[in-house]
Amino acid sequence: MYRVVGVLIASLVVSAHATTLVEPPAPIELPTIDNKTPITLVAEEGFWTDYLNEHIVRDFTKATGVEVTVHTASLSDMYQLQTDSMLNGMGKYDVVTIEAGWAKEWAANGYTIPVKALIDEYDPQYSASLSQLTENYYPALLKILSYRGELHSLPYNSYVMGNHFRQDLFEHEGEQEDFLAKFGYPLQPPMSLMQLKDVAEFFTRDAGKALAGKRLEKPFYGVALMSGNRPHVNDELSSILWGMDGKWFVPEFRGQELIGFHLRTNTAAALHAAQYYRDLTAFAVPADESFAFLEAADALRNGDTAMAPFLYNNLWAITGEVNKAVKGGKLGITTVAGGRPYHGAYAFAVSYDSKNPEAAYWLLKYVSSFESQLAYAKAGGNPCRLDVVRYLIDSLPKGAAQRQALISSYQSDTNWQRDIHLYGHFTSTAMGTIYPMLVRAAYRIASGEDIEATLHSLSVQITTLQNLYGEEAMLAE
């Protein structure tokens, strides 16, 4: 027996604008599951977890009779917490959350069950529609999440980066004239990293100076950077490195076969990116060890900065409040300078040691459905399904913060589609262990420590971890 569950879908469709190009699919049908063993889902603490508990999980349990516990954790703790459980076959978590960089590592270790295997076992009538499912996500993102051409998880919360900026400042005639006089080219949201540094310098001003014709009562900064001792500092530095056509390490292929990696942390490009990031902090909102994405978003919302140039697009609901919080404020969102933002999403997967894999599969399918993703997006989230993305782009007002964020994310994925497989960051099966080393190195660089020594240490760490935990070794030059 199946029960149709629609999460707010009817009211959302009715309230959409008159002409919508995307026709919403029928609501998902959830079965009555005989195995009532409760399951546990892991999710990052914050808005998404709250929404899961209050809406999606409640409706899933009502339809299937299976109780779901949502275990919250910070991003810093989530990797080790889940890895320890699966490594030891503890069966603590049925649906695990994957940061995109961990996907290949967990799949290679057998921690996660392929989506196709779950469908064949528990939902065989859906097998013919699998291609429609997998084609309905950002293409570059699916390349990151797939292992040997097979998808082990479904993404639900996109955090690809964009440049969130004060559009009202960029449109101010006086600021445009002053910028042109100083730098010799028009003021616009920066597309190159050179332009980003120029704009950051231009908008950094002391209290008492004028900004858009008004006297500043407090200092104003060109950028807000996520430069605290948190994972996100690496995402910024990596985006800068990739925007300079650099890489931390690169894969080598023989035909379609991945045979190993070459180190690139000891190159001039890495040194240049590190020095650039250090220099950019001179124009940034003062940051302590805890300064990360929420602090950067708040700085823009509160009128303390002109740009959060490498901010996750799922923060549009916060940065969009600048339109009300600052008189005359107007948010704009575009792609990051350099065009290579940190790309990824949180994705759900069913663990190999799940106590109730059937219920875990149906929860995975439910949280990934059109109605769940659309309801989540309407509540403030950033979805990964392209039919939901298109639906929102069609139905939201042109200047809406969420619409701008979705367009930015879509464009960034397009920029990555052709060659994301040529970056070790997105092809290594050891990224879960390498990533923390990148974080530590990025924070040391942002904090003023010796750049060459930091990069040398990082080179040793990446080589060691890739050789210990990766399926392919670091190759000799």
**Choice among 4-13, 342-351, 443-452 with the minimum mean pLDDT:** 4-13
Backbone angles phi, psi at 390, to 5 degrees: -65, -40
Predicted pLDDT of residue 274: 98
Under 8 Å between Cβ of 276 and 196: no
Predicted pLDDT of residue 9: 32
Predicted pLDDT of residue 463: 97
Query: Hey, which residues does 333 pair with through a beta bridge?
Result: 164
Predicted pLDDT of residue 21: 52
**For residue 219, what pLDDT band results from cuts at 50, 70 and 90?**
very high
CA distance 433 to 290: 22
CA distance 457 to 453: 6
Predicted pLDDT of residue 3: 38
Instruction: Give whole-number Cα distances, 42 to 73, 77, 381, in Å.
Output: 7, 11, 17
Q: What is the mean pLDDT of residues 419-438?
A: 95
Predicted pLDDT of residue 18: 38
> SS3 for 281-350, per residue?
HHHECCCCCCCCHHHHHHHHHCCCEEEEEEEEHHHHHHHCCHHHHCCCCCEEEECCCCCCCCCCEEEEEE
Question: 202-211 burial, b for 16+ CB within 10 Å, e for fewer?
Answer: bbbeeeeeeb
Whether the per-residue pLDDT at 99 is higher than 50: the answer is yes
Q: What percent of the chain has pLDDT over 70?
A: 95
Mean pLDDT of the chain: 91
The CA-based angle 100-140-297, given to 5 degrees, is: 60
Per DSSP bridges, beta strands 68-73 and 39-44 are: parallel
User: In the block, which residue shows the tokens 């070459």?
Assistant: 262
Whether the per-residue pLDDT at 51 is higher than 90: the answer is no
Predicted pLDDT of residue 311: 97
Predicted pLDDT of residue 56: 86
**For residue 43, what pLDDT band results from cuts at 50, 70 and 90?**
confident
The CA-based angle 170-172-177, given to 5 degrees, is: 90
Whether the per-residue pLDDT at 196 is higher than 50: the answer is yes
Task: Give the H or E element holding residue 50.
Answer: helix 47-51
CA distance 93 to 83: 10
Count of other CB atoms within 10 angstroms of residue 255: 6
Predicted pLDDT of residue 156: 87
Whether the per-residue pLDDT at 8 is higher than 60: the answer is no
Whether the per-residue pLDDT at 338 is higher than 60: the answer is yes
CA distance 186 to 184: 7
| Tokens standing for residue 338 | 């350099």
Taking Cα atoms as reference points, which of 69, 72, 77 lies closest to residue 47?
Answer: 72
Whether the per-residue pLDDT at 231 is higher than 50: the answer is yes
Whether the per-residue pLDDT at 406 is higher than 60: the answer is yes
Whether the per-residue pLDDT at 62 is higher than 60: the answer is yes
Instruction: Give whole-number Cα distances, 268 to 163, 241, 247, 435, in Å.
Output: 26, 11, 11, 21
CA distance 66 to 34: 9
Whether the per-residue pLDDT at 369 is higher than 70: the answer is yes
Q: What is the mean pLDDT of residues 233-261?
A: 97
**For residue 14, what pLDDT band results from cuts at 50, 70 and 90?**
very low
Whether the per-residue pLDDT at 82 is higher than 90: the answer is yes
For the entire predicted model, the pTM comes to 0.90
